[in-house]
Structure 1
Amino acid sequence: MSDQLELVALHRSGGGSPPKQERYTFDFVVNGQSLFAVTGASNFDLSGCLSVPQREPELAVRLNDGLARLLTSAVPIGGSNRTALYVCPECGDLACGAITALVSRSDGVVRWSDFAYENGHSSEIKLSKVGPFAFHWTSYVTEIERACAG
């Protein structure tokens, strides 16, 4: 059985003191469950790595293709890479903190496993209660492309 991925708009309100950037990104929802919620990304004030094209067109044009590639075609068949799913909403820098997953690919399946919170300064915090997930390659890529296309 394959897990189901859906990208759903995720809004971060702006304003406050110190001022926060308003952001419209995507949440990764697996089998109807928000990974933003499950990973505790809100506790770290993170946003999704992909911008919503209708709300943040300039960011989406500049960033989404490269980031979507890290989740799809940049993952070699039989290989893996560590990819940030939720990042700093102000700068996207991993050093500010990120929720990451090991993304691996084989024979028509992509897997997300080994979820962690990383910030580049201290030891990663394993999120052992999250995943692993296995997605059918074609439906997975179609969902990411659908979201990024707007």
Structure 2
Amino acid sequence: MMDQLKLAALHRIGETNPPKLERHSFDFIVNGVSLFEQTEASNYDMCGSLSNSQFEPELAGRINGRTAAKLTSDAPIGGHRVALFVCPECGDFACGAITALVSRTERGVRWSDFAYENGIDDASKLDLEAFEFQWAAYLSEIEGSKTD
């Protein structure tokens, strides 16, 4: 049985003291469960790697196409690591990111080997099962982030 992916709005409330940017991004809901919660990305004060164009059109225009390509058309058979949740202030990998190995399969696309990474320290593996999504439904959901 294939896993189901949906994008859901994810909102980080801004603050003035200490200064924190307000961010509108997307959570990845897999089989009805928040990946933001499963990975404990909130413990690292992260946001989704896809911006919500309804609230952040300029940022979404700059990053969603590139991120969506990494999750879809650029995903090789052997896979590559893709940031799912990132620093809400700068999106820089060095601030830390929740990543997954994204790879194409015969039936669709697979997310596996979830980890917290920052490019300096060894990756910290997260205890999550792999997910495999049917290609057409997955592509439609990810591509929708560019216009939502």
Task: Name the TM-score class by shorter chain.
Answer: over 0.9
Equivalent positions of 1:1-150 (< 5 A) are: 1-76=1-76, 78-128=77-127, 130-150=128-148
Percent identity for Structure 1 against Structure 2: 59
The aligned amino acid for 1:101 is: A
Distance in 2 (CA, whole Å) between partners of 1:39 and 1:87 is: 12
* Partner SS state of residue 131, structure 1: coil
Distance in 2 (CA, whole Å) between partners of 1:52 and 1:46 is: 15
Is this contact kept in 2: 1:113–1:133, CA < 8 A? yes
The aligned amino acid for 1:105 is: R
| Post-superposition offset of 1:3 | 0.1
Distance in 2 (CA, whole Å) between partners of 1:67 and 1:124 is: 21
Distance in 2 (CA, whole Å) between partners of 1:131 and 1:124 is: 17
| Post-superposition offset of 1:148 | 2.2
Is this contact kept in 2: 1:47–1:89, CA < 8 A? yes
The aligned amino acid for 1:20 is: K
Structure 1 regions of 5+ residues with no counterpart? Answer: none
Distance in 1 (CA, whole Å) between partners of 2:47 and 2:66 is: 17
| Post-superposition offset of 1:121 | 2.3
Deviations 1:28-68 (A, max 9, x none): 00000000000000000000000001100000111110010
**Runs of 4+ in structure 1 over 6 Å off:** none
Structure 2 regions of 5+ residues with no counterpart? Answer: none
The aligned amino acid for 2:72 is: T
Question: What is the TM-score of this pair, normalised by structure 1?
Answer: 0.95
Is this contact kept in 1: 2:61–2:146, CA < 8 A? no
Is this contact kept in 2: 1:108–1:138, CA < 8 A? no
Is this contact kept in 2: 1:88–1:97, CA < 8 A? yes
Deviations 1:96-135 (A, max 9, x none): 000000001022310000000011222211002x120000
